[in-house]
Amino acid sequence: MESSIYFQRSEIDLREFFIAVLAVEVFMFVFFMECKIYDLSTAMFFALALGLLVRGKFKEYYLLFPLACSNRETMFLLVIFFMVYYFARLESRDWIVGTAYQGFVFIIVRLYMMEIFADNAGVPFLFRPLENFADYWKHPWQSLFFLGGVLIVTWMCMRNWREKPMFLRTAFVVLAPSLMVLYIFFGWAFEVRVFAEVYPVVIVMVIGD
């Protein structure tokens, strides 16, 4: 009995290992053409943070959160996910304390980072939806290809929707639309790297069944 459990666990661990390897390889293939230095670490932090949350390791998650916030400001999306998913799953006190802690840490880290880079050239963010739509209009075939890719990935994530864990479904519903809105208003046309945050969720939903 113990040996069968051991082999079953070994098979699961091996499968998870190959999924992780494939995830990294696909990420590097998809993102390498227009990546920034912090894109891979963004996907890593979101994968690690979600992994800790789904295992109920809140202390470890809270320790990771400040470091992750220093990598990219989109970490605030995990605060939204936390608020939505754990609203009725945690005691009211734990939910309030956890949400307040993350919000406070995010604001402090964000203000500190802005202070550090205050003398650098540039602006805090670019608001360019009109420019993005103009680029889509100028490149219709590239726009259709990009839209087709988005629709295919979305369909692959949503197939067998009810069979997927609620944790993954909630993460996808929170992260994917939020990133799409941020992409349209503050990103650059045809960028893929801006979806690095949702990549760990997508890869598990597509090949992790």
Share the mean pLDDT of the chain. 83
Task: Give the pLDDT score at 1.
Answer: 44
Average pLDDT over residues 146-152: 85
Higher pLDDT, 3 or 112: 112
Total domains, the chain? 1
Per-residue pLDDT at 125 exceeds 70: no
Q: What is the pLDDT of residues 73-91, one digit of tens each?
A: 899 999 999 999 999 899 9
Task: Give the pLDDT score at 5.
Answer: 40
pTM over 0.85: no
Cα 80 → chain centroid:
12
Q: What is the pLDDT of residues 22-55, one digit of tens each?
A: 766 777 676 666 667 778 888 889 999 999 999 9
Domain range for 84:
2-207
Task: Give the pLDDT score at 54.
Answer: 93
Q: What is the DSSP string of 96-141?
A: HHHHHHHHHHHHHHHHHHHHHTTTSSS-S----HHHHHHHHHH-HH
Per-residue pLDDT at 116 exceeds 90: no
